[in-house]
Chains A and B, each alone.
Chain A
Amino acid sequence: MSDRNRAFGFSRRQVVRGLLASSAFGLTAKFGTGCAQSPSTGGDAAADGAAPEELVVGFIYVGPKDDYGYNQAHAEGAAAMVANVPGIRLVEEANVPETTAVAETMRSMIEIDGAKVLFPTSFGYFDPHILNMAKEFPDVQFLHAGGLYQEGVHPNNVGSYFGYIDEAQYVAGVVAGRMSKSGKLGFVAAKPIPQVLRNVNSFTLGARSVNPAATTQVIFTGEWAEPVKEAEATNSMADQGIEVITCHVDSPKVVIETAEKRGVYTSGYHADQSSLAPKGYLTGAEWDWSSIYTKLGQDFMAGKTLMAGDIPHILRGGLADNFCKLSPYGPAVTDEAKADGDAAAAGIKSGDLVIYKGPLKTNTGDEVLPADKEMKTNNVELEKMDYFVEGVIGSVS
């Protein structure tokens, strides 16, 4: 009875062990989440006979569409595009990991749903997946949220758009700096990529503009969605007496709720989380994709394309261009903090206030900018950021 399975030279017990060991290993490679895909919610019919006045636009999200975060911000923008621009048909897929899975999703959106424009929204989709697909389908436009497009290097049917949300983070930092007595702020971050570092730095510079002694403690969780670690990080910060916590992870829900339970102020990110923390929510840096996607949708329907050069390959904007906005102030915010926050926002919108101006040092003491230099928001050097400014407690590597 026991020799039936010996044909391959392994007993079943050895197979069990092998499988267990490889499953445990697979966890580090996100084996579990890879299995947790949900089916496409939008692609119900093949659009073989799509009328020429109809344009199929595909949106791909790395997480669920209603996560109070990054994906929700994009999904709301996509919904606004469909609502405002007649003729656009939306296909969406959520929970697509940053692996070859996204390449397969893009391929099926193009070949089965007939999508002509794709918005793969997550940072890690770009290289190599979008680049490979763009070469394979030169007549499909790929718009990626992130600052990664390089003229001449990448295919010309690829474009990148991103908001300078760090401008909103700066204003949130001003409010946080005013609201914190000790000047101890905290930042729960996912990964040390330039956009995250820039948000941390701008938040810190904002706080230090009103309280020069303010510091920002950074904790990296290592992944975009790691609820237990995010909760642990928030608790650790509360234990250290940190008074305002903000974050840059896919869904700030855990951080905001945990901080509210600990009686710590919070500043939101991606979307409006004020309902999660009715007492401690100060303000937050939110995306405002609705206006951008509506504009792009109108361009598509007018026949403009990236390939013809009618749509710029790099689209950027900040508070002034409605790429981002601030959450309404929470009840705890004092009038003084509100006034400073409003002043900073107005200064950024008019261009009078430059966030990165000298003298500026990294937190390891290296000089970023001498006293008479400054980097405006649209400076591409800022998109390659690999340092923390003075006042941030943490290290990039």
Chain B
Amino acid sequence: MATEALGWWGVPLGILAGTLRGSVPFLLVSLGECLTEKSGKINLGLEGTLLFGAMSAYAISYLSSGIVGPTLAPWLGVLAAGVAGMVLGSIHGWLSQQPRVNDVAVGIAMIIFGGGLANFFGKPFIQPQAPHLPTLPIGGWSDLAPVQSALQISPLFLLGVAIVPLMSWFFKSTRWGLYVRAVGDSPDAALAMGISIFWVRMASIVAGSFLAGIGGASLSLFYPGVWTERISSGQGLMAVALVIFARWRPWQCLWASLLFGGAQALGPAFQSVGIDSYYYLFNAAPYILTLVIMIITCSPKRTLAGAPGALGQDS
């Protein structure tokens, strides 16, 4: 059993570890939402997608571990979570593009639908233990068990980080990226170019939901690694707000996600070294951060730099 005490070093280490562990769902959901919003539609339903993805991943990992073995099962779970996300995404994509349908309203309905569906199907999977995703230990250079444990990197985190430059390049330098941006900024121009607005938006929403579903898989198969009905605790909605904070840029989504992941670790890390006043405030840090961001970025006097032109407009 570990006997080394880190003392004050535990705080930065805890925040670092929390950043690496806790930011994965934020990162994947915000990247997905970034893609979706670039095409001019908003998908608030990613909170529901996150829950449904978490449930699907856990359920498939548990059910298939007997058939394909405990090493392959969690990966099947991740895939299932992505597919589950795509199903929810396609519902949102179709519904929100109907005439006179508001995408925000559909999104809120999808939060409730995704959450309800996850709770309904998830009942039998609360108790059993599903095999988890493996982690990459990059802290082997240290003798300290806490450091080794903090530096357990999830492959899903690496996936998220790898998507960041890819998505950035996709928007900037590819024809398909141009299509997405054109549809998002100026649907009329895109239509004149001969692009199908419906299908570009549909593809963006479905791809975004795929990423959000995988974000859910990281909750249930990596950290904290259980399926309960309150596993997301609003992280999907926070990630949507985070995209606005990140000004619809993938690189800034990464930094913002790391910030939010670290903020979650603040309360417990401070309490573990004996700073125990104001723990409600520390625990509320991610929520306060969201509110502050909303206040700072939502000025009624100016439009946001970088906002897709068609976002929130009639289609």
Using a CB–CB cutoff of 8 Å, the interface residues on chain A facing chain B are 1-2, 4-5, 11-17, 19-21, 23-25, 27-28, 31-33, 35-38, 63-64, 66-68, 95, 181-182, 184, 217-222, 225-233, 235-241, 243, 251, 253-254, 257-258, 262-265, 276, 393-395, 397
Q: Does B98 contact A (CB under 8 A)?
A: no
Query: How far does the alpha carbon of A53 sit from the alpha carbon of B22 in the complex, in Å?
Result: 54
Inter-chain contact A228/B264, CB cutoff 8 Å: yes
Neighbour of B313 across the interface among A2, A67, A238, CB < 8 A: A2
**With contact pairs A15-B104, A232-B264, A232-B265 given, residues A243 and B7 touching in the complex (Cβ less than 8 Å):** no
Query: How far does the alpha carbon of A184 sit from the alpha carbon of B271 in the complex, in Å?
Result: 15
Inter-chain contact B314/A233, CB cutoff 8 Å: no
CB distance from A251 to the nearest CB of B (A): 6
Total B residues in contact with A, Cβ cutoff 8 Å? 79
Query: How far does the alpha carbon of A59 sit from the alpha carbon of B290 in the complex, in Å?
Result: 37
Neighbour of B238 across the interface among A5, A27, A241, A254, CB < 8 A: A27
Binds A, one of B65-73, B120-128, B201-209: B120-128
Inter-chain contact A232/B18, CB cutoff 8 Å: yes
* Chain A residues near B87 (CB-CB < 8 A): none
* Chain B residues near A21 (CB-CB < 8 A): 291, 294-295, 298
Neighbour of A239 across the interface among B235, B272, B274, CB < 8 A: B272
* Chain B residues near A233 (CB-CB < 8 A): 268, 271-272
Query: How far does the alpha carbon of A335 sit from the alpha carbon of B279 in the complex, in Å?
Result: 39
CB distance from A67 to the nearest CB of B (A): 6
Inter-chain contact A23/B5, CB cutoff 8 Å: no
Q: Does B233 contact A (CB under 8 A)?
A: yes
* Chain B residues near A64 (CB-CB < 8 A): 123, 126, 228-229
Inter-chain contact A23/B228, CB cutoff 8 Å: no
Query: How far does the alpha carbon of A227 sit from the alpha carbon of B233 in the complex, in Å?
Result: 8
Inter-chain contact A239/B14, CB cutoff 8 Å: yes
Q: Does B283 contact A (CB under 8 A)?
A: yes
Inter-chain contact B298/A229, CB cutoff 8 Å: no
Q: Does B44 contact A (CB under 8 A)?
A: yes
Inter-chain contact B267/A95, CB cutoff 8 Å: no
- A to B CB contacts below 8 Å, 12 in the list: A12-B314, A13-B311, A19-B108, A32-B47, A32-B115, A38-B123, A63-B228, A184-B5, A230-B224, A239-B150, A251-B228, A257-B129
